[in-house]
């Protein structure tokens, strides 16, 4: 190995998808295919057990796609992500119990609390860089859990139980199969949302920050605000996950939000392929379902689970399905827009505001 060569800047084989299979993987219809699989799953297996596992997996996909905004797009290592799910779950649980609100009516409050939590946690910490940020988020994750463990409004160590199921337009969706479908629809929309955010101006800004923070700043991107936005979006995604989680189990306690859960969500993102929504969905499915498939092996299953994870990371460190930097050379819809663009290069023109 040559020590004096910076291989991190060497060309990688990430370019135009070469084979037909790769092109299939890039196809736009793939999201519909995944949705169809999720919809058809109850027709294959509709036992309460299968529905419970399926619902958990779907909620896990939501968490992973939320963390993907923070870690995958923006490159901020967050080791306490489950705290946002706890904030969402407890907010929904407390409000629905205290005021007997239908659980969906708590969502505005959940979103508000998550934005607040994102600001409180992100505000002071996002001035830090990489390693320090990771340590602080780890601390905040624990603080949220310990707070829930010690407050009376959160039910202390025994938590909150009797959280109502989902009711929509007078329809009771709390039975396993309807609730599974409800989760599939919500999560599909949220995953689509996170993918769309990733392809927008804001999503590009997140990637610029991930790739080179100073260069992004020099291009007029207020990196602190952009990182805070990533944090807040991640928090909202996590909070909605918390609402579904609370409604699914009808009981929550601090033990649901231990560090292991944060680590598992992060693992789903890294294993699937950071920054690529499709990869992250696959990673989340693998992480949540693999232990179930290995259930026959008894206590050995977590050993095998661990070995499989290590093997994947050694053989494919970029994840199952990494994001691929590629776009068509000349998208054909560029030229048919006859409207006036930002105009010919005029250096003295005052351009827009941030």
Partner 1 sequence: MSPLLEVRDLQIAFGGVKAVNGLSFSADAGEIVSVIGPNGAGKTSAFNCITGFYKPVGGKVVLDGADITGKRPAVIAATGVTRTFQNLRLFPDLTVLDNVRGGMHLYGGQNFVDALFHTPRYRKSERAYTREAHRWLDFVGYKGGRGIPVRNLAYGQQRQVEMARAMARKAKLVLLDEPGAGLNHSEKQELLELCRKIRDLGAAVVLIEHDMGVVMEVSERVVVMNFGKEIADGTPDQVKANPAVIEAYLGKADDEPVPPPTAAAVHDAEAAANEAAGSDGSEGGRG
Contacts with partner 1, residue ranges (CB under 8 A): 9-12, 14-16, 193, 196-197, 199-205, 207-208, 211-212, 214-223, 229, 233, 325-331, 333-334, 337, 339, 341-342, 345-354
SS3 assignment, position 276: coil
Coil/strand/helix, residue 161: strand
C-alpha 261/C-alpha 84 separation (Å) is: 12
**And the tokens for 199?**
């392809």
Q: What angle do CA 79, 64, 127 make, to 5 degrees?
A: 40
Minimum CB separation from partner 1 for residue 208, in Å? Answer: 5
Nearer to partner 1, 147 or 318 (CB): 318
CA separation for the pair 339, 337 (Å, rounded): 6
CA separation for the pair 118, 231 (Å, rounded): 6
How far apart, in Å, are the Cα atoms of 27 and each of 189, 278, 322, 329?
A: 18, 11, 15, 17
Q: Measured from the CB of residue 330, what is the shortest distance to partner 1 in angstroms?
A: 7
Task: Give the span between the Cα atoms of 123 and 35, in whole angstroms.
Answer: 36
List helix spans (H) across 163-299.
Answer: 176-198, 201-211, 213-218, 223-249, 259-272, 277-293
Tokens of 152: 């009376």
Is there a contact between 230 and 69 (Cβ–Cβ < 8 Å)? yes
CB of 353 to partner 1, least distance (A): 7
Taking the least distance from each CB to partner 1, the nearer of 163 and 230 is 230
As a whole number of angstroms, the distance between CA 134 and CA 262 comes to: 12
Both tokens assigned to 307: 């070995």
Closest approach of Cβ 13 to partner 1, in Å? 9
Describe the chain by its helix, strand, coil percentages, rounded to 5.
Answer: 65, 0, 30
Closer CB to partner 1, 267 or 274, in the complex: 274
Cβ-based nearer residue to partner 1, 23 or 199:
199
CB of 48 to partner 1, least distance (A): 35
Instruction: Return the number of the residue (317 or 341) whose C-beta is nearest partner 1.
Output: 341
Burial class of residue 204, CB neighbours in 10 A (0-12, 13-18, 19+): middle
- In the complex, minimum distance from the CB of residue 289 to partner 1, in angstroms, rounded to a whole number: 29
Between residues 259 and 320, which has the closer beta carbon with respect to partner 1?
Answer: 320
HSE-up of 138 (CA within 13 Å, CB side)? 9
- To partner 1, the closest distance from the beta carbon of 40 in angstroms equals 27
**Least Cβ distance, residue 188 to partner 1 (angstroms):** 14
Q: Which one, 170 or 331, has the nearer CB to partner 1?
A: 331
Least CB distance to partner 1 at residue 183 (A): 20
Choose between 80 and 279: whose C-beta lies nearer to partner 1: 279
Between 213 and 292, CB nearer to partner 1 = 213
């Amino acid at each position: 190995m040559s020590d004096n060569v910076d291989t991190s800047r060497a060309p990688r084989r990430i370019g135009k998808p070469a084979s037909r299979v790769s092109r299939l993987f890039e196809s736009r219809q793939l999201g519909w295919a995944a949705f169809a699989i999720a919809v058809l799953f109850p027709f294959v297996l509709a036992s309460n057990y299968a529905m419970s596992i399926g619902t958990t997996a779907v909620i896990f996909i939501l968490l992973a796609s939320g963390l993907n905004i923070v870690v995958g797009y923006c490159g901020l290592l967050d080791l306490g992500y489950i705290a946002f799910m706890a904030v969402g779950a407890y907010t929904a649980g407390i409000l629905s119990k205290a005021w007997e609100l239908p659980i969906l009516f708590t969502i505005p409050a959940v979103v508000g609390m998550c934005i607040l939590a994102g600001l409180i946690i992100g505000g002071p910490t996002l001035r830090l860089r990489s390693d320090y940020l990771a340590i602080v988020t780890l601390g905040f994750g624990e603080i949220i859990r310990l707070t829930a463990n010690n407050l009376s409004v959160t039910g202390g160590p025994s938590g909150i139980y009797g959280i109502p199921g989902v009711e929509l337009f007078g329809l009771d969706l709390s039975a396993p199969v309807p609730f599974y479908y409800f989760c599939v629809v919500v999560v599909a929309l949220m995953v689509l949302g996170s993918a769309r955010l990733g392809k927008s101006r804001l999503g590009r800004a997140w990637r610029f920050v991930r790739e080179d923070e100073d260069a992004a700043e020099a291009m007029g991107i207020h990196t602190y605000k952009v990182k805070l936005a990533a944090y807040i979006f991640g928090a909202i995604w996590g909070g909605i996950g918390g609402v579904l989680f609370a409604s699914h189990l009808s009981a929550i306690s601090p033990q649901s939000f231990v560090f292991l859960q944060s680590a598992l969500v992060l693992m789903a993102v890294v294993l699937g392929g950071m920054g690529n929504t499709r990869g992250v969905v696959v990673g989340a499915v693998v992480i949540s379902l693999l232990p179930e498939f290995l259930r026959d092996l008894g206590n050995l299953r977590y050993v095998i689970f661990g070995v499989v994870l290590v093997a994947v990371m050694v053989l494919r460190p970029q994840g199952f399905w990494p994001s691929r930097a590629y776009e068509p050379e000349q998208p054909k819809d560029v030229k048919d827009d006859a409207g006036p663009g930002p105009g010919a290069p005029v250096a003295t023109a005052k351009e827009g505001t941030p």
